[in-house]
Amino acid sequence: MTAAPAIAYRSEILTVGDEILRGDVVNENAAAIGRALAEAGVPARYTLVVPDDLEAIAEAIERALARAQVIVVTGGLGPTPDDLTRDAVARCFGFPLVEDAALLAHVQDLFRQRGMVMPQTSRNQALFPAGALQIPNPHGTATGIHVIHEGRHLFALPGVAIEMRQMTDEYVKPAVKAAFADAQVRTRTLRLTGIGESHLLEQLGDQSELRTLVQIAYLPHHGLLDLRLTALSQDEHEAAAQIAIAEGFIRERVGGHVYATGSTSLAEVIGNILMNRGQKLATAESCTGGLVADMITNVAGASRWFERGWISYSNPSKSEDLNVPAEMLEEQGAVSESVARAMAEGARRRAGADWALSCTGIAGPTGGSADKPVGTVWISAAAEHGVWARHLKFSGLRETIKLRTAHAALSFLYQHLIETRA
């Protein structure tokens, strides 16, 4: 099958904020918007960070309008004097800023819900460019802006990540799909665990035929790996068929490593398995400091399958909370197979859970030794029918080691869950 070329629509992402230019904040908003635009069929061609300056924002918007059909601006919609995106949009399109009574009531109501009176400095959140469409923001005071001009769509969203993501998913992405339905760019993300890029390439083998159908992006993230498949065609059914053939090719060779598609997290998959079996999970963490439990509780409804967790950072806490024998800690050390196993089994028994997961290690930058260098980690999973452990060695910064450990622990649990099948 040879792909017919798709209509090449382009998008551009503008992130507003001095704090991003200074490096105080990582620009995760642009990444989230980029993924959404690719899934909507209008992938980003450019992304730009713009300072909190009216002239700079307006100039960036005008340049983007000259070369892209979709422009998404994030940031600069707050109540402070350096929030100038609203003014820049109004200037670029010649719209007056008018106080909207419904928006003012919305802002006042949000403050009332928080037990506060709206300060006068937040009254400007009710100013809106007349002639633009409003993008609802249920959880914040900054209403989004949607301007349609000469076949181009500009969206301005707040910089608060949780608000921006919801507005992107519920408004921007559907609007782009509807406006540019003839783009016929289709994407599908396969989420893999237990395999790295090099081994994946080795197992996939010759990909020359595969690449005539789809573009493949390899997206590793701290021990997990996403494959994003993109098909471009003028025909919707052909694009879908290209994705299906490519996915079949990959699953035939490494399907055992694919735990989900789309944006479903590994913790969410684990939760679904446990809920379907009517089972519960507990955690016991040392070096990750609660990061595993955080990933688990990021899943809505996790209380239905996550019982409880312990952060047993010190040796006494491992003994007192999880019944790890003090002599074991003295003889084997906190970072050892026996302690990881004892932590998992202790957590399972204390919580009355069906499964438990533990991790203990040396995240650095200090604390290592010749026998146990920084990056030495033990993880363990426990169930009524057995306890399993795995030794891992990671490198990198403290944060990296913690993230890789947390992902490895969830992957280890997932592996044993699917092998158990009951």
Spell out the per-residue pLDDT of the chain, length 422, in tens: 454 445 578 999 999 999 999 999 999 999 999 989 988 889 899 999 999 999 999 999 999 999 999 999 999 999 999 999 999 999 999 999 999 999 999 999 999 998 999 999 899 999 999 999 999 998 899 999 999 999 999 999 999 999 999 999 999 999 999 999 877 678 899 999 999 999 999 999 999 989 999 989 899 989 999 999 998 777 778 888 999 999 999 999 999 999 999 989 999 999 999 999 999 999 999 999 999 999 999 999 999 999 999 999 999 999 999 999 999 999 999 999 999 999 999 999 999 999 999 999 999 999 999 999 999 999 999 999 999 999 999 999 999 999 999 999 999 999 999 998 75
Mark whether 323 and 356 lie in a shared domain. yes
- Domain end among 182, 217, 249: 182
Please indicate, yes or no, if residue 207 is contained in any of the structural domains.
yes
Please indicate, yes or no, if residue 395 is contained in any of the structural domains.
yes
Residue 297 CB coordination number (10 Å): 14
Mark whether 171 and 244 lie in a shared domain. no
Q: What is the CATH number of the domain that holds 407?
A: 3.90.950.20
Contact criterion met (CB below 8 Å) for 198 and 19: no
- Domain end among 261, 279, 297: 261
Please indicate, yes or no, if residue 155 is contained in any of the structural domains.
yes
Q: What is the CATH number of the domain that holds 189?
A: 3.30.70.2860
Mark whether 337 and 414 lie in a shared domain. yes
Give the pLDDT confidence of 266-285 residue by residue, as tens digits.
999 999 999 999 999 999 99
Mark whether 257 and 165 lie in a shared domain. no
Strands 97-99 and 215-221 turn out to be unpaired
Query: Which tokens belong to 134?
Result: 């409003």
Mark whether 171 and 190 lie in a shared domain. no
What is the C-alpha to C-alpha distance for residues 107 and 121, in angstroms, rounded to an integer?
11
* pLDDT score recorded for residue 1: 45
Please indicate, yes or no, if residue 3 is contained in any of the structural domains.
no
Q: Quick check: bond before 365 cis, omega within 30? A: yes
Please indicate, yes or no, if residue 6 is contained in any of the structural domains.
no
Looking at the chain, the whole-number percentage of residues with pLDDT higher than 70 is: 97
Mark whether 35 and 167 lie in a shared domain. yes
What is the C-alpha to C-alpha distance for residues 136 and 129, in angstroms, rounded to an integer?
15
Please indicate, yes or no, if residue 4 is contained in any of the structural domains.
no
Mark whether 17 and 161 lie in a shared domain. yes
Q: How many domains does the chain have?
A: 3
- Domain extent for 221: 185-261
Query: Which tokens belong to 272?
Result: 């679904």
Please indicate, yes or no, if residue 154 is contained in any of the structural domains.
yes
Q: Which residues contact 346 (CB under 8 A, 6 or more apart)?
A: 284, 321, 322, 323, 324
Mark whether 290 and 404 lie in a shared domain. yes
Beta-bridge mates of residue 219:
226
Contact criterion met (CB below 8 Å) for 348 and 383: yes
Please indicate, yes or no, if residue 150 is contained in any of the structural domains.
yes
Q: What is the CATH number of the domain that holds 48?
A: 3.40.980.10
- Domain end among 162, 182, 202: 182
Residue 37: name the closest of 195, 156, 168, 136 by CA: 168
Mark whether 49 and 157 lie in a shared domain. yes
Residue 79: name the closest of 123, 14, 29 by CA: 123
Mark whether 178 and 245 lie in a shared domain. no
Mark whether 342 and 400 lie in a shared domain. yes
Mark whether 134 and 63 lie in a shared domain. yes
* CB-facing half-sphere around the CA of 202: CA atoms within 13 A: 5
* pLDDT score recorded for residue 422: 58
